[in-house]
Structure 1
């Protein structure tokens, strides 16, 4: 015969009346020379309270474990979603290097020179000397090599040509054989 009258998870479980006829068999097992009916009922009530408290604690422990498992599952699902997002958008979550921003601008050769180098054509060393790089920094051409720029031609007419193939006709190119040793040393380091 169970001693619990209600669910142990309820804090208001009702203590059964152990002096009633329902518990006569339990009384009969406890009664002896020193224990009478009233004391047997108190012993049964005390045993019920101890068992009820133990059942409540076990129920609370199970509820806490279930809640912790639920939180772990939720965290695992969130972590999996974040990992999936990182996998889909690798560039968005790429680490950013902690470097200083350059205060000096990067000087690159003019677009005409870069275009010639990409097409594996010969390019004069003049474009890589200090004076050639200085001319490149003053050029008004766009960085977009496919953009069209208007340049005057030898016959006096103006013509639209891609910026990557354009060369400022005003720049006086020094042939490689006419470079000074200083200019040659400047170009050799680049």
Structure 2
């Protein structure tokens, strides 16, 4: 009997072609050893939700009609077995493209629902989400990872999250290449 593979969704929010964050995420994906699908949200035309889009989306949700392309990202996220999000720590948070992505995937009926008490209940299949980031200076997870962790566990129903990061990569006196190489080695030793 063949090995059953899990689908890992790699949500890549790394605008730079030589992204250090992407290098860390790629090392992680290699250790997971499963099939993974790359969604490079910096190359998608993801826009923040506006009034007209919200009205249209709500009408489809009320009909439980999720067949329109506007729901494709949410379905992809909801059905992934494992999720890896990679985004650099920029200007005290993550790039705006990731926030637009979150707005587009948070669809009631696909990634979550509300119970009889009005509390959110997650519907996502994934049991684990990895958040991978790098920072040029000191990293404070409050403004990026903690947000991702909270929405993942409390709204998406993903039981476990893990932060993988390196920081101080742009500070004089710190060897950025060594810091990055050491972390990649640590990740690869997980196998």
What TM-score does the superposition give when structure 1 sets the normalisation length?
A: 0.19
The structure with more radius of gyration: 1
Higher relative contact order (CA 8 A, sep 6+): 2
Task: Write 1 or 2 for the structure with the bigger share of strand.
Answer: 2
What TM-score does the superposition give when structure 2 sets the normalisation length?
A: 0.19
Task: Write 1 or 2 for the structure with the bigger share of helix.
Answer: 1
